[in-house]
Amino acid sequence: MTAKVQYTDVEVGTEIAARSYPVDRADLVKYAGASGDFNPIHWRERVARSVGLPDVIAHGMFTMAQGGRFVTDWVGDPGAVVDYGVRFSSPVVVPDEGGATLEISGKVEEKLDGGKVVVALTARSSDQKVLTRAKAVVQLA
């Protein structure tokens, strides 16, 4: 698969439309099984509250993975992401009723040599920024 986004079609400042990703407790249980991270703060409300959290929270790496998903959906090729990093600023709180929504948007921040671009991501849940310094370097066609 090759990247569907062409290097010549993007400029610094090009915005990538926001996408919403629903998150519910079943997603967290599935992620726990896939990752091996069975910390009960990610699935038991009583435990999460006992350590000072407002409710169950999504795994940080689950949240980061949704940012990666956003970029790969945009570019059309998971192999086009050559570097990706974030800092976690707030947890994604996932209530039992209704779950949570993670909204991610992006902007081309820089064009690099060799057809690469730097995409800066913004990730929010419940009006809280949940990732900071979220950036991906993407190889475009």
Sequence-separated (6 or more) residues with CB below 8 Å from residue 62: 23, 27, 28, 31, 35, 92
Owning domain of residue 79: 7-22+59-139
Q: Is the pLDDT of residue 136 over 80?
A: yes
Match 């993007």 to its residue by tokens.
10
Largest CA-CA distance found in the chain, in angstroms, rounded: 52
The answer to whether position 69 is within a domain reads yes
Instruction: Please state, in angstroms and rounded to a whole number, the distance separating the CA atoms of residues 122 and 103.
Output: 8
The answer to whether position 42 is within a domain reads no
The answer to whether position 98 is within a domain reads yes
pLDDT computed for residue 3 by the predictor:
73
Total domain count, the chain: 1
Kind plus residue range of the DSSP H or E element containing 66: helix 60-75
Instruction: Please state, in angstroms and rounded to a whole number, the distance separating the CA atoms of residues 5 and 136.
Output: 15
The answer to whether position 117 is within a domain reads yes
Please state the pTM of the whole predicted model.
Answer: 0.94
Mean pLDDT of 9-24: 97
The answer to whether position 94 is within a domain reads yes
The answer to whether position 36 is within a domain reads no
Mean pLDDT of 95-113: 98
Are the beta carbons of 43 and 99 closer than 8 angstroms? no
CA distance readout (Å), 23 to 8, 10, 19, 61: 35, 31, 13, 13
The CATH number given to whatever domain includes residue 77 is 3.10.129.10
The answer to whether position 31 is within a domain reads no
Mean pLDDT of 75-92: 97
pLDDT computed for residue 2 by the predictor:
67
What is the full DSSP assignment across 67-110?
A: HHHHHHHHHS-GGGEEEEEEEE-S--B--TTT-EEEEEEEEEEE
Q: Is the pLDDT of residue 22 over 80?
A: yes
